[in-house]
Structure formats: structure tokens, C-alpha cells
Chain A
Amino acid sequence: MRVFGDAWGVSTETLIGAAELRAFLHGLPGVDQVGAEERAARLASRSIKTSAKAEAIDLAISMVDLTTLEGADTAGKVRALCAKAVHPDPSDPSVPKVAAVCVYPDMVETAVAALAGSGVGVASVATAFPSGRAPLEAKLADTRAAVAAGASEIDMVIDRGAFLSGDVVKVFEETVAVKQACGDAHLKVILETGELATLDNVRRASWLAMRAGADFIKTSTGKISPAATLPVTLVMLEAVRDYRAATGRQVGVKPAGGIRTTKDAIKYLVLVNETAGPDWLSPAWFRLGASSVLNDLLMQRRKLSTGVYSGPDYFTLD
């Protein structure tokens, strides 16, 4: 399929590519919504206890992309978040560090400095997050700035308007261009599934992003409701599983937004385990985009180790 090239000009070749790309995406197996929801609910009823729960909590902590994406963010707030990312529970050094801290591009420098040598990555949203409504050049500049500031991961948003109106080539070409702008940084492509209307579209957008070079596909910006859901993540996990089977390349998955409790987090791990498989059960291939879930994970972790229920006053609010 040929869809690279000049995103501003319309060549004959691009038109053919568009038809081919659309045909490919619409040729993917359908998703039956009720069946997918039933499967997700069934997996969510798995009962994870004792030793399995302890392992799951630590794994979940290590997969967290600790996130702050507010207009009111300050350097101080970002530094506090970074401290928490490295030592989520200062009183217990056995708690693993999180995978990454996720901030706006202008906070990347602060985060990189705060996390130097810690092994915690710095992810930055870019490409006119969260709407994606900006000229490509602006998106690319946004991306380059974040990478130049030291971001190791870029979370881009797709142009949902283009995707939904059928201009899949535009989404494809923008993703390819952003991927190029990322250089060595990993690219996470946010599909904003809450705006995609159907699970069929989630599967198509997943394949579109993967074919354009995404290292990760991510559900949501967190600014739109619904954010991550189990059925949506199920479909995306199926997509990365099928994509690897077809191409040999493994792509990661990141549900983001709406994951608040340990119970939620463990449901996602079960989903990964039984859908994409154990190969995805590591921070390299699965992330949880969240912030408040971390304290609940810590609280449940302490309950398991002490045998008594803990309370929110014993964990830091950052």
C-alpha cells in the first residue's frame, strides 16, 4: 500500500492509496458489540486473590504512566509528581517505580531534569493535544520541541474528524510524519475511542495507527468521556495480537483515563493476559494512563502486607 509522501498535494497515487487503505480497513473482521462487551465482562469477573494479587499490584504500579495534563500545571507540581514516580511509597522501598511521567511539552524539560538517572521515562502529549485540531506543521513542531526537550515517548492524537469523515489517508500520513519527527522517541497514538462511536472503528483506527508506525496505541486523552473501557481495550488488544501475527512487529497498548482503583487495574491485566497474552504483560508493552489509581494500588498493597485496611491519609497527594 502506498500512502507515504506529500501530505499537502493530492496525487493520483494518493487517491489509489486512499481507496486501498479504506478497503483494507473495512475488510477487517467486524466486532460484535454485545459479544465483545460480554467477553470483557466475563474476564472482569476473574477473582484475583492473595499471591496473584500481590504480583498484579506491583506489575500495575510498574505500568503506570503517571499523568498530569492540566492548564494549571506548574513546574513544582511536575517535580512532585516525578518524585512520586520514582518512590511511589517513600516508606516502602520495595514498591517499584512507575513506567513514565506524562506531561505537556513545556514541562518536559522539568520532568527530564527531575527524573534524570531514575529509569522513569518522560512521555509528552503533542500534536495539539487533546483535540488534534492544528495544521500538521504545528503538530510536527510540537512533537519536535518535546523530543528536543528530552521526551522519550510522544503521545499523539489522531484527527478524529478526518478519520470519521473517511479521510483515513490524512490520519495515516500525519501519523507517519509525526513518527518521523519522533526520531528515537516512542510514538503512542491516541485514538480517542470515546469519539469513534463503534468498536468496528476502534479496530480500524488501531490498524491504521499500527500500519503508520505506532509503537503503542492508546485509548484516550482523558479529556473525553468515556475514556478507556474494558471492551475498547479488548478490541485494541486483539488488534495488536493480530497485527503481530500478520507482520511480526509487536505494538503496545495503553488504556488511559477512568482507571481509578486497583480492581480496575487488575481487570486490565487479566484482559491483557487472556487476550494478547503474557508477552504484553510488561511496561514495555502495556501501560496504564492514570494518576489517582497509583494511591489505590499503594493502599491495597499495604493491606496485603499488613493485613489491615489502610486509609488515604497514609499516601501522598501530589
Chain B
Amino acid sequence: MTVFEYAPAPESRSVVDIRGSYGLFIDGEFTDGHGEPFKTINPADESVLADIACADEADVDRAVKAARAAYERVWGAMPGAERGKYLYRIARIIQERSRELAVLESIDNGKPIRESRDVDVPLVAAWFFYYAGWADKLGHAGFGPHPQPVGVAGQVIPWNFPLLMLAWKIAPALACGNTVVLKPAETTPLTALLFADICRQADLPPGVVNIITGAGDTGRALVAHPGIDKVAFTGSTDVGRQIARTLAGTSKKLTLELGGKAANIVYADAALDQAVEGIVNGIFFNQGHVCCAGSRLLVQESVAEEVLERLKARMATLRVGDPLDKNTDIGAINSAAQLDKIRELSASGEQEGADRWSPPCRLPDRGFWFAPTLFTGVAQSHRIAREEIFGPVLSVLTFRTPEEAVTKANNTPYGLSAGIWTEKGSQILWTAQHLRAGVVWANTFNKFDPASPFGGYKESGYGREGGRHGLEAYLNV
């Protein structure tokens, strides 16, 4: 037997130039923030990457005013075709600088370079390219002949897909004629700040895109600011609830893309090898830091043993480690706080009586790491079956009948996504019809496309991002 060990194949960091400190991008310029600056670190080795300015209320006000001025003077009145050309330019510059963006994303976030290179950054470019084309066709989008922009959008995004979530927010907003103030997550600000530079290279008029950095206080100040007409948030259900409360009684439009606890349903007649691949992709993609992750595996009892056997064998081939190694499948957990949360919930799984399993896997000494983990013997009542773990932890439950599968899948306050694996077409459609979830992947999982609407039912939020449906959030309809 030969041992085929892959030598490290690290992506070069030299394509990225990280500055020592970053200001706030307001009205086309980097300016000082007046809150307490903070540091962003590399979660793979805990090294400090840069000092980041923090926007206080006055800074937020400045950014909103800049966005308002740009909306009124330039962007809102600009013909759609011209706006579209700016967005096309941005899409092209993203493609030109894709290597740089991918490396920076992996350094700041901890995700494997394979994913930032092959998934995140190509989708970012695609998102701008797609919505660029809508800018001069809004009258044909089904929202009346002359739909108007909303005004200034305040957008708050999470750390799991920093640049991709920026694209999901900014591309449709700008295409519809709005200007934006966007706050990236405090642990992953760097690609958003690089995006500011891309806006400048594209000669985007000052104030159309403003990037302000900071933590929860900055976000709260932004969504509460009376000069904002629309709030778009992606993140936890708890924060989404707070934002909905903050906006109660105001005329601000709101879209929320929140948490999930997706069921991935594997029927006995599934294409098992692809199903196993889909299970792995569903929960271990991006370290499981995915709101739509297939975190509950519901497997039909007659094939449960076989599926678990194959799944464990497959999990043993997952490579955990340096995010910049092109062969890494699972990178670093984004932050110490998130690692604590994953550990706490996993411990609760054991305490509540589920069986925990991980493949043998050596984790680096420094940085935030968590081995891919499987829980079997999970009951619906266990916390690991109900709460969003947002990490590489899969809970396995079994079912006997399709009705039972659907009942268990829907038995959650969330309703973002779900998976179905079966070779029987009518069973796919029946199951898809009965699942209360906004995105259903059948015989695939974790696929995204700018032409495809994405968003949740129930406490997973409201509004859709992507496709024609994604325009509605940014138009006065």
C-alpha cells in the first residue's frame, strides 16, 4: 500500500497588500473613524492583519448624508443604462483582481482558498454582472412601468461570506438606483475595504457606495438612522429580530436573511455516492458557517447504516488546515467566539446523549479550528437538532416514511433551505412541495446563482435576494 500524501500547495500571499490600518470609506474617500479602532486578525494563526477604524454615530451620520447627497445629485437621477455600465465595470475589475480578492478573503475569514477562488469571488463578479443588466430594464421587471428607487440603503452583512454578501447587497441596490452605506462584519472587513478601492478604480461617483466598519453599535446606529430608507440585513435571527423592532412603526423597508437549521433528506433510493457528497458539501462547505447549511441529516432508516459508513469514510478524506493551501477542504473557524459557541453546542450534544464522532485529524496549534463532527442518535429535542451551530457539526436523525421526513424537516422555527436525495422524480416534487423552506436543493446542495432567488420562510427572514425577485427590496413597489 502506498501512502499518497499531498505536499502543501500554498497560494502565494504576495498578491495582496494589506495596509497597517484602514479608515472609513465615505463619499469616495478613506477618512478617520471616531470610535475605538479595532484589529482584524487571521483566524488561521491569530496574527493581527490590520487596525480598522470604527464608525461612531457621527461617522454613520456622515456616511448616510454622503449617500443621500449622491442619491439626490447623481445616482437616483442617472439613466439606468449608465448605472448599468458602472456595475459592469465593477464586475470586470472584480474578475481582473480575483486572485487578490480570493487570497485576502481567505486570510481574513479563514475559508479555504479553493472556495474563495472557485465559489465566492466568481459569484461576486457574476452578481454584479447580472444586476448590471437589470439597471436599464427595471420597467420590464413586473413592478410597474417606471419603478422608482427607495433612496438610501443601510446594509449590514455577516462574516461568513464577506465579499459575496456585499455583492448580494450592493449590486441590486445600485442597479435599482439606490445609494448604500454598508457595514461589513467586524471580524472580516478587509475585502469590503478592498472593494472600496474597486469602486474608485471604476470611477463610481463619490457617496454612491460608503463602507463603514465597526461592531454591533455601528450597525445599530446605521439601521436606526432616520436618513435610511431601506435596511437589508444578513445575520443571526436574534439580531434580525432586534432590527425589526428598531424599525417598528417607521416607513423603512426591511429585508432579512437570517439563520437556518436545514434538513437534508436522504431517501433509500438515492444516488448514494452523490448523496454522501451532498451531505459533506451541505455541512462542511465553508466550515459550516453557512446559514443554509444542511445541518440536520434525515436519512431513511433502511439505508442509515450504509450512508453513515460511506459518510464516515468520506469525512476521513477531508483535509483540515491552512486556508491558503489549495488542497484544504476545511479551513479555520472565523473567530474565538464562534469556536466557543461550536464547542459549547457540541458539548451539549454529548451531554444530551447523542454519539459524537470525528475522523482522526490533526489540527494546527495556533488559530481557531474544529474537526468535522458527526452526531448520531440525535433526537428532535436535542439542542444540536434545533439550534443553529454555524460550524462543521452534523446531526443525524432517521425517518421511516416520507411524511415523517417532511414533518421532522418542518419542525423548526426556521425555514431557509432543505435538501432532498432520491432518484424518484415524483418523490422529489412531493417532498419539495411539502417542505416549508425558501430554497430546496434536490440531488444537489449549496448551489447559488445571481439569477436564482434566495431567502427564507418563517424565522429565517423575509424578502428574496437574487433574480428578478431580488429587485423588489430596492424598488418602491
Q: Which residues of chain A have a CB within 8 Å of any CB of chain B?
A: 29-32, 34-36, 38-39, 45-53, 55-56, 59, 238, 269-270, 273-274, 278-279, 281-282
Which of these binds chain A: B202-210, B265-273, B381-389? B265-273
27 A-B interface contacts by CB (under 8 A): A29-B273, A30-B270, A32-B274, A34-B443, A35-B274, A35-B277, A35-B278, A35-B443, A36-B274, A38-B277, A39-B273, A45-B118, A45-B326, A46-B6, A52-B6, A53-B7, A55-B2, A55-B4, A238-B273, A270-B4, A274-B317, A278-B1, A278-B2, A278-B3, A278-B4, A279-B1, A281-B4
- Within 1-21 of B, Cβ neighbours of A (below 8 Å) are at 1-9
Q: Are A49 and B9 in contact (CB under 8 A)?
A: yes
The size of the chain B interface, using a CB distance under 8 A, is 25
Q: B7 CB to closest chain A CB, in angstroms?
A: 4
Q: B264 CB to closest chain A CB, in angstroms?
A: 14
- Within 225-273 of B, Cβ neighbours of A (below 8 Å) are at 269-273
Closest A residue to B270 by beta carbon equals A29
Q: Are A34 and B444 in contact (CB under 8 A)?
A: yes
Residues of chain A with a CB closer than 8 A to B68's CB: none
Assembled-state Cα–Cα distance A282/B3 (Å)? 10
Q: Which of B2, B3, B444 has the most CB of A within 10 A?
A: B2
Given A29-B269, A49-B7, 19 further pairs, Cβ under 8 A? A30-B269, A30-B270, A32-B274, A32-B423, A32-B443, A34-B443, A34-B444, A35-B278, A36-B273, A45-B326, A49-B9, A50-B7, A269-B4, A273-B4, A274-B317, A278-B1, A278-B3, A278-B4, A282-B2
Q: Are A48 and B6 in contact (CB under 8 A)?
A: yes
Q: Are B271 and A35 in contact (CB under 8 A)?
A: yes
* Leading 9 A-B pairs by shortest Cβ distance: A35-B274, A47-B9, A47-B326, A32-B274, A52-B7, A30-B271, A30-B423, A281-B2, A32-B271
Q: Which residues of chain B have a CB within 8 Å of any CB of chain A?
A: 1-9, 114, 118, 269-274, 277-278, 317, 326-327, 423, 443-444
Q: B229 CB to closest chain A CB, in angstroms?
A: 41
Q: B310 CB to closest chain A CB, in angstroms?
A: 9
Q: Is the interface of A mostly helix, strand, loop or mixed?
A: helix
Assembled-state Cα–Cα distance A278/B316 (Å)? 13
Total A-B residue contacts, Cβ distance less than 8 Å: 75
Q: B104 CB to closest chain A CB, in angstroms?
A: 19
Q: Are A31 and B273 in contact (CB under 8 A)?
A: yes
Assembled-state Cα–Cα distance A52/B269 (Å)? 39
A282 and B271 in contact, given A35-B444, A46-B327 (Cβ under 8 angstroms): no
Residues of chain A with a CB closer than 8 A to B3's CB: 278
Closest B residue to A53 by beta carbon equals B7
Residues of chain B with a CB closer than 8 A to A270's CB: 4
Q: A44 CB to closest chain B CB, in angstroms?
A: 12
Assembled-state Cα–Cα distance A31/B277 (Å)? 12
Q: B475 CB to closest chain A CB, in angstroms?
A: 35
Closest B residue to A199 by beta carbon equals B271
Q: A237 CB to closest chain B CB, in angstroms?
A: 10
Q: Which of A29, A45, A50, A59 has the most CB of B within 10 A?
A: A29
Assembled-state Cα–Cα distance A201/B270 (Å)? 16
Closest A residue to B272 by beta carbon equals A29
Which of B1, B5, B114 contacts A52 (CB under 8 A)?
Answer: B5
Residues of chain A with a CB closer than 8 A to B444's CB: 34-35
A47 and B327 in contact, given A39-B277, A55-B4 (Cβ under 8 angstroms): yes
Q: Are B278 and A59 in contact (CB under 8 A)?
A: no
Assembled-state Cα–Cα distance A45/B1 (Å)? 24
Q: B38 CB to closest chain A CB, in angstroms?
A: 35
Residues of chain B with a CB closer than 8 A to A36's CB: 273-274
Which of A39, A48, A59, A279 contacts B274 (CB under 8 A)?
Answer: A39
Assembled-state Cα–Cα distance A52/B8 (Å)? 9
Q: Are A45 and B274 in contact (CB under 8 A)?
A: no
Q: A14 CB to closest chain B CB, in angstroms?
A: 29
Which of A32, A45, A49, A53 contacts B114 (CB under 8 A)?
Answer: A45
